[in-house]
Structure 1
């Protein structure tokens, strides 16, 4: 059985609920990544902030990225995680069901890694990855109205 531990990135970098969106953006730029898990003071993941969140939910709404905290951004979001020993098929099914592109991995509730689309593409068969991408992107694709293409 392949587990989440075998697929995950163990060197995951996170931010705290008290870090600002400016801090998150700077860390993403330094690490050349597009998302950071948000953890409470004890290392438990409570959310994820993406570069898109910073632009769309913070800057575009007129919020101040120097003052808006990760904790504020994480409020009201359902965060899905898996334990380190979870079978990868169960993790993949969770990601597909909830259209999740990044899945935090925990051990005893604390963040120990993250599974991303890139991790899946490196470790799973192409057909499985293709099905995953189709499943999470299907609602974002424009509906075809071309009757001649049928």
Structure 2
């Protein structure tokens, strides 16, 4: 049985909700990622911010990236998954919630992230079909 721990991207870096969108964009660039978990000052996971959020919801609206906090645009967390959950559970959860990224949390700490590309590389074709239908096939 393949688990979240086996397919996740580990070594995930987070951004605090009070850090700026400029800092978030620079971190994404430097890390080569398209999203970052957003944490409160106390370390609680409060959301995810994507490169698309920064472009579509900040740049296009003329916001000042240096002064707008990442937490202002962060999408709230729909779900997280534990590191020992099987891929079938991951596919079902991501599909039913129509999310393309899923934080992996262990004892309240973000230890990894699973993306749709991780699924494509690591799960059976029928499970990928199920995921794609759930996320992209709905009207």
Counterpart in the other structure of 2:117: 118
Render the CA deviation track for 1:81-135: whole Å, top value 9, x for unaligned. Answer: 1122222211211100111100000001110111011111111123322331232
Counterpart in the other structure of 1:49: 49
Alignment size in residue pairs: 139
Corresponding residue SS for 1:41: coil
Counterpart in the other structure of 1:135: 134
Superposed CA RMSD in Å reads 1.8
The alpha-carbon deviation at position 62 of structure 1 amounts to 2.5
Counterpart in the other structure of 1:61: 61
The 2-side partners of 1:123 and 1:91 are apart by 12
Indicate the structure (1 or 2) with the bigger Cα radius of gyration: 1
Render the CA deviation track for 1:17-69: whole Å, top value 9, x for unaligned. Answer: 12111111111112222111112234332111111100111122222111111
Verify the 8 A CA contact 1:83 1:109 in the aligned structure 2.
no
The alpha-carbon deviation at position 139 of structure 1 amounts to 3.7
The 1-side partners of 2:41 and 2:89 are apart by 29
The 1-side partners of 2:43 and 2:9 are apart by 16
Counterpart in the other structure of 1:17: 17
Verify the 8 A CA contact 1:46 1:79 in the aligned structure 2.
no
Gaps of 5+ in 2: none
The alignment's TM-score, normalised by the length of structure 2, stands at 0.89
